[in-house]
């Protein structure tokens, strides 16, 4: 006898089929950060989503930050931590810690978890193969880098070999100076360079909110010509500015779809990709 649960499973798979067909063989960049990196169940759900996408033929590129882990390590080392315009101020000592934490611990932990869950991943950072070239960003940010070039070869070679690339966002200049690269910015630049179909940014809120205190004030769609007005009105502010600016750049560079979704919801990536409604905020031209 066919149970109701089996019928539901079959209906879910049938409903997902058109979306799987649409994205198979296409590249999707996922920027991973926030609570989804800290909470064990959410972390497992995100990695499971990424493995599933990979198994159905979607080329997933995972770009991660690691702000809480960096802050934790800086605290242990008694190194002050502060932010300027939503970006972490990075002196020479902090730059070393960023590289150690992102490329050493966070990156390898994610690769290991994907392997434990049955996926195949390879850890990369922007230094590998000259993937992310950068220069010092203008302003008082220390060694925070502005991306000057993305070499996609290490990423595409990983995908062609059947691996999920997991990328830590540090870069270097031609003299070997290491720079801390904002993960949202790096994800957008990588998506544009790969001509990705979609970029998904996981956040700790539902998306872009008209009122940060009101969960029901979600703005479902933002057009590019509205961004500056939203910044001037304070709706986009602080750490949200680089996130939105990055998604804006990816859309203007030809990425088909850019979305900001709530990483606190289990399997939010699958909900976004495999349903008409989606979730979060979508950014369009």
Q: Along the 285 residues of the chain, how does pLDDT read in single tens digits?
A: 455 777 776 777 788 888 888 899 999 999 998 767 788 888 999 999 999 999 999 999 999 988 888 888 999 999 988 888 777 888 889 989 999 999 999 999 999 999 999 999 999 999 999 999 999 998 889 899 999 999 999 999 999 999 999 999 999 999 989 999 999 999 999 999 999 999 999 988 888 888 878 878 889 989 888 999 999 988 988 778 888 888 898 999 889 889 999 888 888 899 888 887 668 899 988
How much is the pLDDT for 9? 67
Nearest CA to 196 out of 53, 86, 35 is that of 53
78: left (phi over 0), alpha (psi -120 to 50) or beta: left
CA distances from 129 to 40, 155, 157, 172 (A): 31, 10, 11, 11
61: domain CATH number is 3.40.1160.10
The domain in which residue 123 lies consists of: 23-284
Residue 82 lies in a domain: yes
For residue 84 the two structure tokens come to 């300027």
Residue 157 lies in a domain: yes
Q: In the chain, how many domains are there? A: 1
Residue 7 lies in a domain: no
Q: Is the dihedral of CA 246, 99, 163, 51 positive or negative?
A: negative
Residue 96 lies in a domain: yes
Residue 224 lies in a domain: yes
Measure the CA–CA gap between 258 and 208, rounded to whole angstroms. Answer: 13
The single residue listed with the structure tokens 């399997």 is 267
CA distances from 19 to 56, 114, 225 (A): 11, 23, 29
Measure the CA–CA gap between 77 and 74, rounded to whole angstroms. Answer: 5
Measure the CA–CA gap between 127 and 202, rounded to whole angstroms. Answer: 24
Residue 225 lies in a domain: yes
How much is the pLDDT for 116? 97
Residue 73 lies in a domain: yes
For residue 114 the two structure tokens come to 């994907």
* Full-model pTM: 0.90
Report strand pairing: 121-125 vs 198-203: unpaired
Measure the CA–CA gap between 168 and 99, rounded to whole angstroms. Answer: 9
Burial state string for 80-115 with b = 16 or more CB within 10 A and e = fewer than 16 = ebeeeeebbbbeeebbebbbebbbeebbebbbebbe
How much is the pLDDT for 3? 56
Residue 92 lies in a domain: yes
């Amino acid at each position: 006898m066919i149970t109701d649960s089996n019928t539901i499973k079959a209906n879910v798979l049938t409903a997902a089929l058109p979306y799987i067909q649409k994205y198979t063989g296409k590249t999707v960049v996922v920027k991973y950060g926030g609570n989804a990196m800290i909470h064990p169940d959410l972390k497992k759900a995100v990695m499971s989503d990424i493995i599933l996408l990979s198994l159905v033929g979607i080329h997933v590129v995972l770009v991660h930050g690691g702000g809480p882990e960096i802050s934790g390590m800086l605290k242990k080392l008694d190194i002050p931590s502060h932010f300027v315009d939503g970006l972490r101020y990075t002196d020479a000592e902090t730059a070393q810690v960023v590289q150690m934490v992102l490329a050493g611990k966070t990156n390898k932990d994610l690769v290991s978890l994907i392997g434990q869950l049955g996926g195949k991943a390879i850890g990369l950072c922007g230094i590998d193969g000259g993937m992310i070239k950068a220069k010092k960003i203008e302003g008082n940010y220390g060694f925070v880098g502005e991306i000057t070039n993305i070499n996609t070869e290490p990423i595409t070679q990983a995908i062609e070999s059947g691996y999920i690339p997991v990328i830590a966002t540090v870069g270097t200049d031609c003299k070997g100076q290491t720079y801390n690269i904002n993960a949202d910015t790096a994800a957008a630049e990588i998506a544009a360079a790969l001509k990705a179909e979609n970029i998904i940014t996981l956040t700790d809120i539902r998306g872009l909110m008209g009122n940060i205190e009101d969960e029901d004030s979600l703005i479902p769609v933002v057009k590019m010509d509205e961004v500056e007005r939203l910044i001037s009105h304070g709706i986009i502010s602080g750490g949200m500015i680089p996130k939105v600016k990055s998604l804006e750049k990816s859309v203007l560079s030809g990425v088909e779809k850019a979305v900001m979704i709530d990483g606190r919801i289990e399997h939010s990536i699958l909900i976004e990709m495999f349903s008409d409604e989606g979730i979060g905020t979508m950014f369009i031209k």
